[in-house]
Structure 1
Amino acid sequence: MGLQLTLDAADRLDALLADSGGSPVHFREAAKVLVRAARVPDVVARRLVDEVVRADARLHWRSADEVGRPGAAPARLLEEAAFCVFDLETTGMRPGADRIVEIGAVRVVALEAAGSFERLVDPGVPIPPAVQRLTGLGDRAVRGRGPVGPSLDAFVRFAGDACLVAHNARFDVGFLDAALGRRHGRRSAAPVVDTVALARALLPARRGRFSLAALADRFDTTVTPCHRALPDAQATAELLLALLGLAQERGARTVDDLVRLCRPRARPAHDRRRLAEAAPRAPGTYVMRDANGRALYVGTAGDLRRRTQGYFRGGVQPRGVERALGAVDRLDYAEAGSAFEARLDEIRLILELRPSANRRGVRPERSAFLRLSGAVPRLSVSATGDLPPATDALPGLHLPDVRVGPLGRRADVERVAAALRLAYGLRSCRSARPVEGTCLQGRLGRCLAPCRGGAAAAAHDEAARAVWRVLVAGGTVPTERLRERRRRLVAGLRFEEAAALRDLEAALRRAGRTLA
């Protein structure tokens, strides 16, 4: 059984044990969850269950026939307990694909710091520029530091039997478990405390963000988080000690009490998680329907099973989606060949079904389109109702008029259009044929000024062809052009213009995920 299949199966068994209140379950019942069949031969059932149990530290054979969780350790009082507060810096956001770059940890015993741990790791792949800017860690800093395996083993020894603590623990523990799975075929069985969830539970009246930086400022920690593993772990440790005092005021006495405080409140949608079990691990669209078959919500995902399971396992969703989850009776799935194809299917379904929980569901015609048209090509934004059939030609380019969308709210699409015009030097004037000498944007170097004719007009036509390819074929969006222009503005101390350009760049990156 492959690693990913084993982890998925272990998650299903762990959910089964949670439903049983922690009581052991017979291996035949466990096998039914794994293979989703009414009857499984005992020999096959025992072999399947045993393979999953041996690969996951959360599971244990409680008897010859029953699977449960490992025997509970004696309750650890908060004032005596050991905590390993840790933070990871990584090459990206995906535990299964991206890699650990740095590990930092602080061990807290009896409410006092009792040691620290810090390791740099060579991920074996280039560190993306965005991560380098965020952390200050470049490829040269980690070259020759060795692979993650030995550092991971050293971290496990440092943590020992302590309760693991992290800020936004789902991210850090996800990477930790993925690395442990690749190295040892098992994941961590230690209890986990998430300081984000703990702060939300203990500070219900707080309005605003629960980021590490915001909470460190709120509790005036001596260490300032800076997106490096050890300083962030040290700040989180100080935050933990402050929250422990609040938790004790709420009646928490043991580590188990603390873990329970971190758990999200039970939601009615949790009981419907079986609806997501049949979802394929493939890109596509899904439709939530009520008992009468009415469409409540339409969505798209690169991994349909992971996305839909998240609705029933995770925290509270946006208000409209939460209402849909309260009424959902079935989920319909449709696989797609790519994420882009799935996005187009989603748009079509929203226009056709008009689901009430989608922001564009009730009035999809309010969503905006990008259009490239005109004798001297111009990129514009229009609503669906404003567009004539897109059959006009771009005369100078020998290309058809093109429109793409709907891409979202008009204000957002206007920012995307402005970013594309600036990145490629397309004209922004509204006249059908611009007149030479009237173009301020050309004088400022923001437009290629086709009104000048000759080489300038040819350069503008070539830029329009490049934009056409982005819109039609999903080419790479040119954020680097904007980034270079932003650097020049910063160097010239034109910070307000640089900030505005940064917002345009962000809008273009978001649109790039749709156009890709």
Structure 2
Amino acid sequence: MVMTVENAVQGTLDELGTPLDQITFVVFDLETTGVSAGEHAITEIGAVKVRGGQVLGEFGTLVDPGTPIPPFISVLTGITDVMVAAAPKIDSVLPAFLEFARGSTLVAHNAGFDVGFVKAACAAHGYPPPDHPVVDTVTLARKLLTRDEAPNCKLSTLAKIFSSTEPCHRALSDARATVDVLHALLERAGSFGVHTLEELKGFVRAPSPEQRRKRHLADAVPSAPGVYVFEDERGDPLYVGKSVNLRTRVRSYFTASETRPRIREMVGIAVRVRTIVCATALEAEIRELRLIGSAKPRYNRRSRFPEKVVWLKLTDEPFPRLSIVREIKDDGAGYLGPFTSARTAEEARAALHEAIPLRQCTDKIPLRLTGRALRSACALAGLGRCGAPCEGRQSAEEYGAHAAAARQAMELDAAPVFSAIEARMDRLSGDQRYEEAAADRDRLAAYVRASARMQRLRSLTSIPQMVAAGPLPDGRWDVHVIRYGRLASAGVLDKGVHPTPVVDALVATAETVATGPGPIPAASAEETECILRWLESPGVRLVQVEGTWSLPVSGAGRLMGRIERAYRPGDAEPRRWREGRPER
């Protein structure tokens, strides 16, 4: 660890209007093992303390993350496992960094990322979260620079313009480059009358000229729950959102509270706001999902491609196998999903293969082999992980028992797969093969999460019709008709009104829902999950139910707690469950 600090008197922030040249800034950068503060760890901290354009001190150290550094991270940063082997752990580094930054204003390039990791480290080691003022040089650059000056706001791009230090994904070097960028941006901000920290914060939050010019688009928006659609001059949707109060939400896009660069850009393009008033907040949420999925507005990031999910399929053939597919067919096959990526589906398939000796080849094996074998058995047969039906060693009846076990594990009972992977993790940990044990943990998590999700969805999608009511603060009730997991009708029961005529009217006018094959036959998984969240909210009552709303008694949901604890830092669960290592 290297720390050098000159004697300096910390400037005060107690008075409003603190001049920027009296503010002590700690410009810092982190290198990490990944992008998620909850799952990944810090590998290096670099920080530079400056005030009035002068460097007061520097702080730099590698950090032992306690886990292997992924190869692609090592390629990016140049930091390897060997380099951090003798480095202090974060519980030793964190107090020194917090002391170095005490009483300062924190600065980082894309500050949300770095501050998020610091907060996660503080939470994990019993320190209060840092309450320092924070300046993000990315946000500041977007306010002050034009596209002609800088095609983007990456640190490497800005450093070429404002710094003689070249960022190289090493923390201290990148922090030094960020110092130069900060000073250049503060100098530029001065030409806009920004001379104090408070003025700087207000300047960053101020609405853009485009936002101010477009405020009239909210004039005709009603104060009701519903969906709003920003449209361009051709009438194409730019962005779809929902709110319990359309007028309040749409007006917020034209104020300082809207700071997202992409959304500010969208507002500049929009020429109108179309609204769809809904009876209830749930209806608004569902309509938003459906509109985003059908129109795919380019400024929406979430829920744009519900059709891109994948499924794990147990094929319907004499010797079934597990296949990753994008389409569910009415072919009698078993399905597990939906998965958001083929990689996650592959991990779940690997977990099932570990527990159940299904064939992993892609050949079509006839019911009865005649003459010589279809082909020579693969290595899995020698390992006892496949009965080699391709060589005729296993009959369809014998193999069918394994296929039935796989379908049972996919749809009803996760315990056999869980027990098999847990036992394998114990063996690997005992042999100090921690990386392999961690890989098995990830495969098990992918399988259990998908199985629990599908069973939860199927509990609702198997019900032909459900009517439920939820209380509102003013004494009224939201009433929804749900068919096969799809919202078919929505309305409001006024206070003091008899419910039967209202419910009968909603049922009579509800959408006729056509069903398809698979666990989610009538709606997207996201829509059904929205409905489930509402059904599970406080005070919701079931009015009518056709069929039974239940979950399998041996389902994967009962294992979710152990899976989630396996990824929670600092939990009391054994270390082998958290990172594939035994307790010490």
Instruction: State the TM-score, normalizing by the size of structure 1.
Output: 0.48
Instruction: State the TM-score, normalizing by the size of structure 2.
Output: 0.43
Greater CA radius of gyration, 1 or 2? Answer: 2
Structure having the higher helix fraction is 1
